[in-house]
Structure 1
Amino acid sequence: MTTSTHILRRRRFLPLFVTQLFNAFNDNLYKTAMVLFVVYSIYNSEAEEAMFSAVASGVFIVPFFVLSALAGQLADMRDKARIIRIVKGCEIGIMLVGAAGLLIAWQDVECATGAGAACLTAPPPLLAQSAIPLLLAALFAMGVHSTFLGPIKYAILPQHLHSDEVLAGTGLVEAGTYLAILFGTILAGWIPVEVAAAVVVGIAVLGFITAQFVPPAPPQGDSNELDFPLLGPLGRSGHGKATKAAAFLPTLVADQLVSMFKLVRSTTHDRRVFLAIMAISFFWTIGAVLFIQFPPLAKNVLTASKEVASLFLVIFSVGVAIGSVSVNALLKGTVSARFSPLSVIVMALFVLAFYLVCRAWTPAPGDALMDVGQFMGQPLAIALLFCLLGIAVAGGMFVVPLYAFLTTFVPKTQTARTIAANNIVNSGAMVAGAVLAMGLSAAEVAIADQLLLSAAMCLVSSWLGKKLYDAEKAAPAG
């Protein structure tokens, strides 16, 4: 029996694994259904579609940057299993708001296009105008939800798994996450948006149920005070009057930035951990930019339907899952960045090949959009999907060992904070990537040409991976 199949049979891992599957599935079902519906049914401009895709990505990422310090401290100071249950309970309310936004937007579009049955219950004009704000508000709240869950899903592993099981557990969580992304993305592209609204609420309830079975994971240290500047000054502001809170605002912002800087700086005690965080950040910047580009690229460059856009995201998710599991087999359970530099160079080559195929693509005539069958009948379709799969497999092989660094080479009392520091740097890098993508769209740089940005960032990630491997070899044994 392999290590992976062994831990999947144990309560110390299985409930967490299933809860994370539901979380990743729901995140991506909601995000993808929302973005595809807006891109394909509301906007009709490549620039506007790319801008909305970038804004949606930024809205989801911002909470990671702002709240990761608090999330990491809570995860280290409180029972991680209890936090999981609280967060999953909140997800039910968040998804009710998101479902309402999807239904309002759907009814408004159906009525505008003359679908009679939907018009009978179409929302009034002011309510219809609130659809996109509701959608983005729920997306922001899901970002908050994932911010608090993020440090736990990796930090809890060394607490529940043996040392020789951590890499396998990390690979399973990463691979499972991407398989859940796969199914969530498939569903988002193929089911009607009104059905997606019901499904996201149901999955939130299932995730809350499975969270009840995660074994306790009490704090490993003695600290019981939160060092989070937003809580201190506001908590001491008398009766919490708005004027007093406003007076603290400049100080709060400065203190929050200092707190985040201190948290990130605390990771520099081990050069391997710090370099792993830097390399992961550039990887997720590349992933964020690619995900921003996929829907408008599919619609405007490849003249393909939303089902094809969903297929792109599916192929990407499958590839990362394959890479995540493959690298564990290659490394034989050893935590090492040995294959990371080469993996991301291969990823860059596949991105360039993907770009060249897009440039050579023959669009459909007129305003027609190809369905999956028509798309697969195109001469370059297989080459395009193969390039996309190669990007993802290489990316998965690059990133999984780096996450294992974050939980292996720090004390167990600091694992959640290390993951939180990683999330801060990751989210800052992804926001920067989203802003850059928005700027390129505003400057009217063709969406296909923006793929070159992702290829260039792969070179930076490879350099960081090489630095990490050098630090790994230089570290004392044991």
Structure 2
Amino acid sequence: MTTATHLLRTRRFFPMFATQFLNAFNDNLYKTTMLLFVVYAVYNDPETETLFSAIASAVFILPFVVISGISGQLADMRCKARIIRTVKLCEIGIMSLGALGLYMAWSGWDLAIVAPLGILTIDTTLSIIVLLFVLLLAGCQSTFLAPIKYAILPQHLRREEVLAGTGLVEAGTYVAILLGTILAGPLAVDHTEWAAGGIVLTAIVGYTVSRQVPDAPAQGMIEPIDWNLWRSSTRIIRESMEDRPIWYAIVAISFFWTIGAVLFIQFPPLAKNTLAASPEVASLFLVMFSIGIALGSVSINALLKGAVSARFAPVSVVLMGGCVIAFYLLVKNWNGTGDAGLLGITAFLAQPMAAALLLALLGIAVMGGMFVVPLYAFLTTRVAGEKAARVIAANNIVNSAAMVGGSLLSVGLTALGVQAVEQVLLAAGMSLISAWLGRVLYKVEREEMTGAAGLAG
């Protein structure tokens, strides 16, 4: 704790920490406000709402699949601080356009059109097209920052400070997600104009803070940037596959986020259509998920006593699957009612099954955090410093491809008429595969430890 407190008072850490915090806060304020506004104020059909939620998730994640190869190279071959400042300057323009889209949607100043989506179509508006376009740009921005938040720490911190710095960045990110999600609930429908102003103001503050991040020049040999999207992405994935434990960790993390993508898509439609709950309750679900991940992170660190290991990964994700089943059964048998209209948070919490529902959701997130956090730590501690950003970028590509796959799967099931509540069961089934992947990784980990002990002997 002393080390952590000390780092927050230093210029070599705090500006980067604050920049990441503000970026995560702004992303979630915008995404959640947009999603809740469209689900609650634009559409009035469960299938269309679930479809839009899935499309929005895929749009934000897509840049991680397409351009992570380039972002990882840039982070390893160029000054990381300069990249941060450039990206944060672009954010001001991106969020200004996002604010315009939110204002257009809120004020009704719009042009009704129909947007073809392959074999699917949804009635939409010009403002929604603007909002989705901004979401795509925000995904691009986050793609360029994602490898840097881990790779820059060893350059600015002493070796004994890196673990504390990584923990602070993770904790700060979850708190930022939590605050952005909480704030989006009450602003989404009734005060959308406040959210529009807030995202622009946060972007300006974020850029100002980013100018204080100390320079972090490239380490090791400088290689030319391969701007070919396909080749650069496949190359860093292929290089990561050469290290078996790293590759197993990437695959396990990716499968976890596929489960997360399926669940996140269902939360707003489930809250509105199955639980008859307000946007604030949908926001509360996302808040509980963030709190649970943070609690899981603390719990697994205590269990492992600081060691980086996948020892508890299989049992954690099996328990997560059990919590998913409990959540499904509670939603399926929900019988809460309100006096009129949608249930607000107070009315929702007064329902007989509400506490059990939130506990099940919290359990999903806690067990998920216990599964995935050690795997992230494994990646960041195993890879060499001059290749850190590219390995993290490879992880982002595979994670994001899996999440897009989960989103598309949800779109397909929705098109086939599978209700949102039934799609929750899909996450429970995928937990078994995640457990198997965690067991494979731990087996490889034990084999390496046994081999190292043999050589030492």
Give the TM-score, by structure 1 length: 0.88
Instruction: Quickly say closer, same or farther: Cα 1:129–1:444, change in 2 above 3 A.
Output: closer
Identity %: 59
**In structure 2, distance between residues paired with 1:142 and 1:379:** 40
Structure 1 unaligned regions, length at least 5: 109-121, 230-255
Query: Could you list the per-position Cα deviations for residues 355-407 of structure 1 after superposition, in whole angstroms to 9, with x for gaps in the alignment?
Result: 11111101537983111111111100000001111111111121111112222
Q: Is the 8 A contact 1:167 1:328 kept in 2?
A: no
- Of 179, 193, 197, the residue aligned with 1:183 is 179
Q: What is the match of residue 324 of structure 2?
A: 351
1:52 aligns with 2:52: yes
Q: Displacement of 1:10 after TM fit?
A: 3.1
Q: What is the match of residue 412 of structure 1?
A: 385
Q: What is the match of residue 153 of structure 1?
A: 149
Residue 432 of structure 1 aligns to a residue whose secondary structure is helix
Q: What is the match of residue 297 of structure 1?
A: 270
- Of 392, 404, 407, the residue aligned with 1:431 is 404
Q: Displacement of 1:258 after TM fit?
A: 3.9
Q: Displacement of 1:215 after TM fit?
A: 1.9
Q: What is the match of residue 43 of structure 1?
A: 43
**In structure 1, distance between residues paired with 2:313 and 2:340:** 43
Q: Is the 8 A contact 1:178 1:318 kept in 2?
A: yes
Q: Displacement of 1:3 after TM fit?
A: 4.2
Q: What is the match of residue 208 of structure 2?
A: 209
Q: Is the 8 A contact 2:68 2:394 kept in 1?
A: yes
Q: What is the match of residue 444 of structure 2?
A: 471
Q: What is the match of residue 263 of structure 1?
A: 236
**In structure 2, distance between residues paired with 1:160 and 1:456:** 42
Q: Is the 8 A contact 2:336 2:353 kept in 1?
A: no
Instruction: Quickly say closer, same or farther: Cα 1:87–1:270, change in 2 above 3 A.
Output: same
Query: Could you list the per-position Cα deviations for residues 177-211 of structure 1 after superposition, in whole angstroms to 9, with x for gaps in the alignment?
Result: 11111110111001211110000001111111111
Q: Displacement of 1:123 after TM fit?
A: 5.2
1:196 aligns with 2:192: no
Q: Displacement of 1:329 after TM fit?
A: 3.0
Q: Displacement of 1:169 after TM fit?
A: 2.8
**In structure 1, distance between residues paired with 2:444 and 2:324:** 28
**In structure 2, distance between residues paired with 1:322 and 1:176:** 13
**In structure 2, distance between residues paired with 1:331 and 1:15:** 30
**In structure 1, distance between residues paired with 2:32 and 2:358:** 19
Instruction: Quickly say closer, same or farther: Cα 1:168–1:353, change in 2 above 3 A.
Output: farther
1:278 aligns with 2:274: no
Q: What is the match of residue 301 of structure 2?
A: 328
**In structure 2, distance between residues paired with 1:205 and 1:332:** 40
Instruction: Quickly say closer, same or farther: Cα 1:193–1:94, change in 2 above 3 A.
Output: same
Q: Is the 8 A contact 2:152 2:216 kept in 1?
A: yes
Q: Displacement of 1:161 after TM fit?
A: 3.0
| Alignment-mate amino acid for residue 216 of structure 1 | D
1:144 aligns with 2:133: no
| Alignment-mate amino acid for residue 205 of structure 1 | I
**In structure 1, distance between residues paired with 2:430 and 2:328:** 15
Query: Could you list the per-position Cα deviations for residues 88-112 of structure 1 after superposition, in whole angstroms to 9, with x for gaps in the alignment?
Result: 111000000000000000001xxxx
Q: Is the 8 A contact 1:171 1:400 kept in 2?
A: no
Instruction: Quickly say closer, same or farther: Cα 1:53–1:366, change in 2 above 3 A.
Output: farther
**In structure 1, distance between residues paired with 2:275 and 2:443:** 42
**In structure 1, distance between residues paired with 2:171 and 2:256:** 16
**In structure 1, distance between residues paired with 2:112 and 2:447:** 65
**In structure 2, distance between residues paired with 1:160 and 1:469:** 31
Q: What is the match of residue 310 of structure 1?
A: 283
Instruction: Quickly say closer, same or farther: Cα 1:458–1:161, change in 2 above 3 A.
Output: farther
Residue 55 of structure 1 aligns to a residue whose secondary structure is helix
Q: Displacement of 1:176 after TM fit?
A: 1.6
- Of 410, 419, 422, the residue aligned with 1:446 is 419
Query: Could you list the per-position Cα deviations for residues 287-313 of structure 1 after superposition, in whole angstroms to 9, with x for gaps in the alignment?
Result: 111111100000011110111101111
Q: What is the match of residue 220 of structure 1?
A: 219
Q: What is the match of residue 22 of structure 1?
A: 22
Instruction: Quickly say closer, same or farther: Cα 1:169–1:343, change in 2 above 3 A.
Output: farther
Q: Which shows bigger deviation, 331-340 or 21-30?
A: 331-340
| Alignment-mate amino acid for residue 133 of structure 1 | I
Q: Displacement of 1:218 after TM fit?
A: 1.1
**In structure 2, distance between residues paired with 1:274 and 1:163:** 25
Pairs within 5 Å for 1:107-126: 107-108=107-108, 122=109
Instruction: Quickly say closer, same or farther: Cα 1:133–1:187, change in 2 above 3 A.
Output: same
**In structure 2, distance between residues paired with 1:448 and 1:294:** 9
When the two structures are aligned, how many residues end up with a matched partner? 438
**In structure 2, distance between residues paired with 1:125 and 1:456:** 40
| Alignment-mate amino acid for residue 20 of structure 2 | Q
1:339 aligns with 2:312: yes
Q: Displacement of 1:430 after TM fit?
A: 0.4
Q: What is the match of residue 261 of structure 2?
A: 288
| Alignment-mate amino acid for residue 305 of structure 1 | S
Instruction: Quickly say closer, same or farther: Cα 1:279–1:155, change in 2 above 3 A.
Output: same
Q: Is the 8 A contact 1:174 1:400 kept in 2?
A: no
**In structure 1, distance between residues paired with 2:284 and 2:79:** 39
Q: Is the 8 A contact 2:110 2:127 kept in 1?
A: no
Q: What is the root-mean-square deviation in Å for CA atoms of aligned residues? A: 1.8
Residue 11 of structure 2 aligns to a residue whose secondary structure is coil
Residue 214 of structure 1 aligns to a residue whose secondary structure is coil
Q: What is the match of residue 4 of structure 1?
A: 4
Q: Is the 8 A contact 1:170 1:403 kept in 2?
A: no
- Of 370, 389, 399, the residue aligned with 1:397 is 370
**In structure 2, distance between residues paired with 1:13 and 1:470:** 36
Q: Which shows bigger deviation, 211-220 or 54-63?
A: 211-220
Q: What is the match of residue 118 of structure 2?
A: none
**In structure 1, distance between residues paired with 2:67 and 2:425:** 32
Give the TM-score, by structure 2 length: 0.92
| Alignment-mate amino acid for residue 176 of structure 1 | G
Instruction: Quickly say closer, same or farther: Cα 1:153–1:277, change in 2 above 3 A.
Output: same
Instruction: Quickly say closer, same or farther: Cα 1:85–1:29, change in 2 above 3 A.
Output: same
Q: Displacement of 1:150 after TM fit?
A: 0.4
Q: What is the match of residue 85 of structure 1?
A: 85
Query: Could you list the per-position Cα deviations for residues 414-436 of structure 1 after superposition, in whole angstroms to 9, with x for gaps in the alignment?
Result: 00000110011011100100000
Q: What is the match of residue 118 of structure 1?
A: none
Pairs within 5 Å for 1:92-107: 92-107=92-107
**In structure 1, distance between residues paired with 2:352 and 2:385:** 53
**In structure 2, distance between residues paired with 1:451 and 1:175:** 27
Q: Displacement of 1:138 after TM fit?
A: 0.5
Query: Could you list the per-position Cα deviations for residues 219-253 of structure 1 after superposition, in whole angstroms to 9, with x for gaps in the alignment?
Result: 11222411122xxxxxxxxxxxxxxxxxxxxxxxx
**In structure 1, distance between residues paired with 2:347 and 2:150:** 42
Q: Is the 8 A contact 1:167 1:335 kept in 2?
A: no
